[in-house]
Amino acid sequence: MSRRVKRKFSHPKDDPISASPPIPPRIVSPAPINDAGTSIRPPPPSPYVDWTSLPDDTVVHLFSLLSYRDRASLSSTCRAWRSLSASPSLWRSLDLRPHSLSPASAASLSARCTHLRRLRLRGHASLSAAVALRAADLLEISVDSCRALTDAVLSVAAARHERLRCLQIGPEPCDRVTPDAVRAVALCCPDLRRLRLSGVRDVDAATVSALSEHCRDLSEVGFFDCPSLEGPALGSVTSLRFVSISGARGIKWGPTAQAWCKLPNLIAVDVSRTNVTAGAVSRLMSSSSSPNLKAVVAIDCPVLENEWGPSGSSSSTCKGRILLAVFNDVLKGISSLSSVDMKNPDNGRDPFFGWRASPSVAADRTVDDVMMWLEWVLSYSLFKIAESNPLVLNEFWLKQGAALLLSLMGSSQEEVQERAATGIATFVVIDDESAIIDSSRAEAVLEEGGVRKLLDLARSAREGIQSEAAKAIANLSVNAKVAKTVAEEGGIGILADLAKSMNRLVAEEVAGGLWNLSVGEEHKGAIAEAGGVKALVDLIFKWPSGGEGVLERAAGALANLAADDKCSMEVALTGGVHALVMLARSCKNERVQEQAARALANLAAHGDSNSNNAAVGQEAGALEALVQLTCSQDEGVRQEAAGALWNLSFDDKNREAIAAAGGVEALVTLAQTCTTASHGLQERAAEEVRRSFGGSQEVQEDDACEHVLWRLEWDTRFFRHSTLDFEDVHETAAGALWNLAFNPGNALRIVEEGGVPALVHLCSSSASKMARFMAALALAYMFDGRMDEVALIGPSSGGRSKTVNLDGARRMALKHIEAFVHTFLDPQAFSVAAASSAPAFLAQIAELARIQEAGHLRCSGAEIGRFVAMIRNPSSILRACAVFALLQFTIPGGRHAMHHACLLQNVGAARVLRAAAASATAPIEAKIFARIVLRNLEHHQLESSL
């Protein structure tokens, strides 16, 4: 017996990206004539292109479009390219975030960093090592993931780069940085013009004073998510043009607004995610001391929104100044700053499009500065809001937020592009663990043309942008409509190409995208055609360690693809069996183990249509690894490993090998464990209900009552999900033991290992009909008489003597098999059917006895033959069980009903069934069930003749 493919979720679409362009017509000139009067044939064109003969400028331009890794590879092609790869224009900007910069690697790069101007890093260790680059003329440093950043590292970095004009650290909070380090930056970097810091705990007046005193050209400060910020002190930095304190909740807004109104050069202010008051905003908007002020950004400011609410739209402009808040039309406000006509259909809903498309002139430099700053602060705030995901902003996301994020993806600033894509990837997610997304938000992105924009972004040469765009595509693709659009727009081919990336972050997000897309049946073939299967298998070999995220997602995608018969063959042909077994054997990460086991289970589920079942069983160490995983502490790993053993045990050779690898003992233990856990779950549920209602005490207060009801609802949902998980484990354990029990030696080993009580418990107590059914069939295999001959020879467990009471075990098993079959009996219906041969009565009984999911089970000829032989067994209980099983396997509409009917005809079962139906000594249920099976066979015979 083989079970259905686990979690099985096409015609492929054309890929417009990879389609070849039309070939223009070739004009053939007459061949020249020589003195002899014959034409001179030119030599045939060489099939090879000499890339080294390209002009130097062209090569340098091509290098600028490549990742650093690809540049390094190409620079080793020849001496000329090695020289060109060191061109100063290629080393003015360096993004080392995908890599961990060590002092040794920094020293090796130092010779090329003489002209380095812009540096992007990840982690405090990389910032510490950056001093070894010896980039004395560095103008800009941007660092993220710096939670562990200390004063010492920041101070040294500032001291070694005195010409620094821009320092940006975040968005993760650097809560270990003190005001001393910020003052050191001010002292060491007098040319500083832009300072953006996240999460610095204390920014006091002395710190701001140091910035004002030493950094005379400081035009922009951003103190993001700083809990203790002296807002009024910023009024002393008269050079400031742009101020952002997004996320700073402890501001005293009266004195702060008063101080800021005196900044003569102030152009724009960002107070998003703060408790700014309507009075403070009004004061800023109406101040005459800041004549250049153009915009106040106040996204997600609860106090302001409560004070002004929807009527705040009347306060959105004042003296030509724009307020951008959730209760206003933000898109329209941004467009008015740049004088972009939003009614122009070319601009659509993109407030930045017209500004980006128009050529810049000297008079527009202030507008350009404002728009660039707006892009940055909006991308930051929207990303942070998406992380916290307050429900009150759901309408904002649907009406404006999605369009804003998509507009920001078109920015020329890489950081803005990345953060906007990350914001889209984040704001659609409701539950990351369960992969649940908000369909309305996903479809809002779809309606704004977001899929095409994200795919264009994914084709960027910048790996950081590739990674974030792939993440957004992956999350959105959980929605079926978005997934369909991704496929139609050529996204599968783009992701398959990106899967070849040597960047771990890109590979991880791309694998996640293919995993989500592979859920849809219609996309599996397209993924295989685009080379996605091979790309996923290659990822497993490429990241054998240190890339658990890549491995989990690649294995999960392969598991979904393996559910399809054709794709499962592609997985095997590309080395997928070996790769998955390698993960099951060597990877210690439980999430990876679970997906690898699920993939192997799905590969083994096609035993009737391809050879993958045998191939998995023959792979060295596969069965031993799966047996070992059934002992995992993680329930999901145990379940998937047992499911793989269940499917593999359909093959006779695999049954013997599984038993030899200790599979019988492991599966019996699993069955025992899950029955114990079920009791514990029931007891915990009862205890939680008692605790929630507090015994017999009445709940007096409405709030307390609401809390109790909420808690009970949550507990009920949790226990329902947990019960479903246990049911799945019950089915898996019972199904695997059923398959293994087909072999009499294995059956005896199951008895010796204490499997009878476990199966009896599943047969009588499991909430899953399927688990009870398969446990009953396993017990029937064990006690239909074939095991008795093996038992006479001696114990089966490797020579170990185990005393078992076979008679007692047999009586226990038969008693519970009989009780199981009787749960499907309706005495009145059986009495009427016994007295009448009308088909309607038989159809009624068949419907009452039907186990819906049993139609997915597929038995071999040997198994069907064994049930037919069991109809002649002296035990009336086993006879009734056998015909009950055949009824399940032949009910019209079952997935393999026709297959089972043909097998029954091949072994002459009709004669045996007629004898059982007419037997005077057979129990009534056996006779009625036999008549129903005969009727099913007639139905299938008639159907096959049509």
Predicted confidence at residue 712, as pLDDT, reads 40
Q: Quick one: pLDDT band at residue 350, thresholds 50, 70, 90?
A: confident
pLDDT at 795: 58
**Residue-level pLDDT at 337:** 86
> Helix axis angle, 876-890 relative to 806-822, nearest 10°?
50
Does residue 336 surpass a pLDDT of 60?
Answer: yes
If you average pLDDT over residues 225-245, what whole number do you get? Answer: 94
Q: What is the pLDDT of residues 49-81, one digit of tens each?
A: 566 678 888 888 888 887 777 777 778 888 888
CA distance 533 to 554: 9
- The set of residues, in sequence order, having a beta carbon less than 8 Å from that of 638 and lying 6+ positions away, is 629, 630, 631, 632, 670, 729
Q: Tell me what pLDDT residue 394 has.
A: 92
Read off the pLDDT of each residue in 36-47 and give the average, rounded to a whole number: 50
More confident of the two residues 803 and 874 = 874
Query: What number of other Cβ atoms are within 10 A of residue 661's Cβ?
Result: 19
> Tokens 């080393």, residue?
91
| 548 token code pair | 């658990």
The two structure tokens encoding residue 917: 């139906």
Residue 695 has pLDDT above 50, yes or no: no
The β-bridge partners of 140 are 118, 166
**How far apart (Å, rounded) are the C-alpha atoms in residues 160 and 355?**
38
Report whether pLDDT(678) > 60.
Answer: no
Distance, CA of 915 to CA of 607 (rounded, Å): 34
Confidence band of 907 (pLDDT split at 50, 70, 90): very high
Tell me which residue has tokens 């998406």. Answer: 386
Whether residue 449 is predicted with pLDDT greater than 60 in this model: the reply is yes
* Cα–Cα distance for residue pair 128/101, rounded to 1 Å: 9
Bridge partners of residue 269, in order along the sequence? 243, 296
State the average pLDDT for the chain: 85
**Rounded distance, CA 5 to CA 615, Å?**
17
CA distances from residue 226 to 153, 314, 338, 491, 754 in whole angstroms, order as listed: 20, 31, 31, 40, 62
Q: What are the structure tokens assigned to 286, written together?
A: 């109406």
Q: Which of 30-44, 488-502, 597-611, 842-856 has the lowest mean pLDDT?
A: 30-44
Angle between helices 548-562 and 532-542 (to 10 degrees): 150
**What share of the chain has pLDDT > 70, as a percent?**
85
Give the H/E segment covering residue 268.
strand 268-270
Nearest-angstrom CA–CA distance, 854 and 73 = 57
For residues 622 and 616, is the Cβ–Cβ distance under 8 A? yes
Confidence of residue 11 (pLDDT cuts 50, 70, 90): very low
Mean pLDDT to the nearest integer, 849-856: 92
What is the pLDDT confidence band of residue 675, given thresholds at 50, 70 and 90?
low
Residue listed under structure tokens 């090998």? 657
Q: Can you give the pLDDT at residue 527?
A: 96
Question: Which one is predicted more confidently, 450 or 355?
Answer: 450
Residue for token digits 């009737």?
608
- pLDDT, one tens digit per residue, over 139-185 is 999 999 999 999 999 999 999 999 999 999 999 999 899 999 999 99
pLDDT at 705 over 80: no
Write the single-letter amino acid at 307.
E
- 149: number of CA atoms within 13 Å, CB side? 34
416: Cβ contacts below 8 Å, ≥ 6 apart: 375, 376, 379, 408
**Residue 840: predicted pLDDT:** 84
Mean predicted confidence (pLDDT) in 710-737: 60
What confidence score (pLDDT) does residue 555 get? 97
pLDDT of the residue at 720: 41
Instruction: Look at 116-125, 260-269, 373-382, 821-830 and tell me which has the smallest mean pLDDT.
Output: 821-830
Count of CB atoms within 10 A of residue 131's CB?
A: 17
User: Does 98 score more than 90 pLDDT?
Assistant: no
- pLDDT score recorded for residue 794: 63
For residue 295 the two structure tokens come to 């915009």
Q: Is 886 exposed, middle or buried (0-12, 13-18, 19+ CB in 10 A)?
A: buried
Residue corresponding to tokens 């109790």? 708
Q: Are 562 and 571 in contact (CB under 8 A)?
A: yes
Identify the helix (H) or strand (E) that includes residue 721. Answer: helix 702-740
pLDDT tens per residue, range 570-617: 999 999 999 999 999 999 999 999 999 999 999 998 877 788 888 999
Residue 748: its pLDDT value, please? 92
944 confidence band (pLDDT: 50, 70, 90): confident
Is residue 581 within 8 A of residue 621, CB to CB? The reply is yes
Mean pLDDT value across residues 704-717: 41
**Tokens coding 824:** 């499907």
Local structure of 43: helix, strand or coil: coil
d(CA 224, CA 112): 34
With b for 16 or more beta-carbon neighbours within 10 A and e for fewer, the 135-151 pattern comes to: beebbbbbbbbbeebbb
Residue type, 454: L
Q: pLDDT category, 796, cuts 50, 70, 90?
A: low
- As given in the structure block, the two tokens for residue 36 are 């002899």
Task: Decide if pLDDT at 14 tops 60.
Answer: no
Res. 313: pLDDT tops 60: no
Q: What is the mean pLDDT of residues 73-94?
A: 84
Q: Where are the alpha helices (DSSP H) in 215-252?
A: none
pLDDT in tens, 537-556: 999 999 887 789 999 999 99
Q: What is the pLDDT of residue 709?
A: 41
Q: What's the 3-state SS for 172-221?
A: CCCCCCCHHHHHHHHHHCCCCCEEEEECCCEECHHHHHHHHHHCCCCCEE
